[in-house]
């Protein structure tokens, strides 16, 4: 199925969605569900209805980006947030309230997970506040209710925090009031020109697993808005495949693998001013050249002076982190055929292709990385996001479980 050009254009302009989101089996399912919900069963008639009705257009976009989230998703971001807040942020900001933004927040699992993590780590009530925003009013209404189906607790990631929930009807669970009072919800558009403009900056921002759906211009616009609303020493948590480091050079990765956290880079030192050489006076005596037999001999570069493969891989990663993806791809593609195969190498080139939005080239490279190292967590996380991107939620969950097991095994071994 292919959407009419006008619909794809409106989705791109209003929601920043990349055209790859408008294709595949997930699109067919969304169209069928919305046709049933609106009572329009002819495809062309539904497309006309979609263009006429702003309410239906928003509902269609909501369905297209299903809020596939759950409590303490991926684990590491929440662990690192609490560690950073206790050891780094709080000593620098005594008596100040920690302010965190979750956007887009979908149906609320992420902002509630943030609040529970901080309470569980010993942060006192009113010492922090979480603001959550989303473009969808429907999602915000569900989030404010704080009642969740069992699927929101998949992977047993919420088991250590069972005291922060109460049983509700139909097997659901409700977030306790002591958590809900730390979170406020409001409608926000990540791509609005005035997003976070003129507001008090946040100390940490969670914006995970959404940039991957945006076209390149929208990604750059969204990141600029996030940077505008971030404190100078603040953090941004992104998703596994969002490739934040390829969008802006102003952020650098920080924290453990799997946290996908970034902080502002320190301002580069200004180059030292050039000191002008003294002018040669007319009467200055110029030294005579050395005799030929005493002249210095400059040896030709040897093979040892050429950069090693490790140095070239490091250069490729630095270029990718700085947003120079095409240059990074050229170096990495040549290296991949000249150096012994390794999971790290295949993963690096795969990540570069993700940044270039070439997912067809990225996925086989990441799979080769996992073939060489079945516990290569970074590659498994990327594969999970790619599976989720094409609508394979079950496959994505299996890959995430493997990635978490791989990380746990690595920590035990260490």
pLDDT in tens, 224-273: 899 999 999 999 998 766 666 666 777 888 888 888 899 987 654 434 33
Query: In the predicted model, what is the mean pLDDT of residues 210-234?
Result: 86
Q: What is the pLDDT of residue 412?
A: 46
Lowest mean pLDDT among 26-35, 186-195, 246-255: 246-255
pLDDT at 267: 53
Q: Which helix (H) or strand (E) holds 94?
A: none
* pLDDT for residue 125: 85
Residues of the chain with CATH 3.40.50.150: 76-264
Question: Which backbone phi and psi does 184 adopt, to 5 degrees?
Answer: -120, 150
Q: Where in the chain is the domain with CATH 1.25.40.10?
A: 308-413
Please choose, from the candidates 140, 141, 133, the residue with its C-alpha nearest in 3D space to the C-alpha of residue 207. 133
- pLDDT: which is higher, 92 or 270: 92
Confidence (pLDDT) at 68: 67
pLDDT at 44: 92
Q: Give residue 155's pLDDT.
A: 75
Identify the band that residue 381 occupies on the pLDDT scale cut at 50, 70 and 90. confident
Instruction: Quote the pTM value.
Output: 0.65
* pLDDT, tens only, 112-135: 999 999 999 999 988 999 999 998
Domain 308-413: assigned CATH number? 1.25.40.10
pLDDT range class, residue 281, cuts 50, 70, 90:
very low
The confidence band for 20, taking pLDDT boundaries of 50, 70 and 90, is low
pLDDT at 111 over 90: yes
CA-only gyration radius of the chain, Å: 26
Q: How far apart are CA 259 and CA 378, in angstroms?
A: 11
Lowest mean pLDDT among 161-175, 268-282, 351-365, 399-413: 268-282
Model confidence at 25, in pLDDT bands (50, 70, 90)? low
Structure tokens at 34: 């919305």
What is the 3-state secondary structure of 271-334? Answer: CCCCCCCCCCCCCCCCCCCCCHHHCCCCCCCCHHHCCCHHHHHHHHHHHHHCCCHHHHHHHHHH
What pLDDT was estimated at residue 282? 44
- Give the three-class secondary structure for 266: coil
Specify burial of residue 120 (Cβ count, 10 A radius: 0-12, 13-18, 19+): middle
Domain 76-264 belongs in CATH node 3.40.50.150: yes
Say yes or no to pLDDT of 285 above 60.
no
């Amino acid at each position: 199925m292919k959407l009419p050009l006008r619909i794809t254009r409106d989705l791109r302009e209003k929601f920043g969605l990349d055209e790859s989101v408008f294709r595949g089996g997930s699109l067919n399912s969304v169209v069928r569900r919305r046709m049933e919900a609106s009572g329009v069963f002819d495809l062309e008639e539904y497309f006309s209805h979609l263009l006429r009705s702003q309410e239906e257009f928003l509902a269609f976009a909501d369905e297209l980006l299903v809020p596939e989230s759950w409590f303490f998703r991926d684990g590491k971001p929440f662990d690192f947030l609490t560690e950073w807040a206790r050891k780094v942020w709080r000593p620098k900001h005594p008596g100040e309230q920690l302010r965190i933004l979750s956007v887009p927040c979908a149906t609320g699992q992420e902002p509630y997970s943030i609040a529970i993590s901080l309470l569980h780590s010993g942060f006192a009530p009113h010492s922090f506040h979480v603001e959550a925003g989303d473009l969808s009013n429907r999602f915000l209404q569900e989030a404010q209710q704080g009642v969740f189906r069992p699927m929101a607790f998949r992977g047993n990631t919420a088991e250590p925090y069972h005291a922060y929930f109460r049983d509700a009807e139909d097997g659901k669970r409700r977030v306790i009031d002591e958590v809900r009072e730390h979170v406020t919800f409001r409608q926000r558009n990540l791509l609005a020109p005035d997003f976070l403009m003129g507001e008090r900056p946040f100390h940490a921002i969670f914006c995970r697993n959404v940039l991957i759906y945006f076209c390149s211009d929208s990604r750059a616009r969204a990141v600029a808005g996030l940077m505008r609303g971030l404190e100078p020493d603040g953090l941004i948590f992104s998703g596994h495949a969002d490739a934040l480091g390829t969008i802006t050079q102003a952020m650098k990765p920080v924290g453990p693998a799997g946290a996908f956290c970034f902080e502002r880079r320190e301002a580069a030192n200004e180059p030292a001013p050039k000191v002008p050489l003294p002018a040669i006076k007319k009467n200055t005596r110029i030294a005579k050249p050395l005799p030929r037999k005493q002249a210095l001999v400059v040896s030709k570069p040897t093979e040892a002076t050429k950069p090693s493969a490790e140095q070239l891989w490091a250069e490729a990663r630095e270029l990718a982190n700085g947003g120079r993806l095409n240059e990074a791809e050229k170096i990495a593609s040549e290296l991949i055929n000249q150096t012994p195969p390794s999971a790290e190498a295949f993963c690096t080139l795969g990540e570069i292709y993700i940044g270039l939005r070439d997912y067809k080239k990225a996925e086989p490279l990441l799979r080769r990385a996992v073939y060489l190292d079945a516990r290569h967590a970074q590659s498994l996380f990327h594969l999970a996001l790619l599976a989720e991107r094409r609508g394979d939620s079950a496959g994505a969950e299996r890959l995430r479980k493997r990635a978490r097991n791989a990380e746990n095994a690595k920590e035990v071994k260490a």
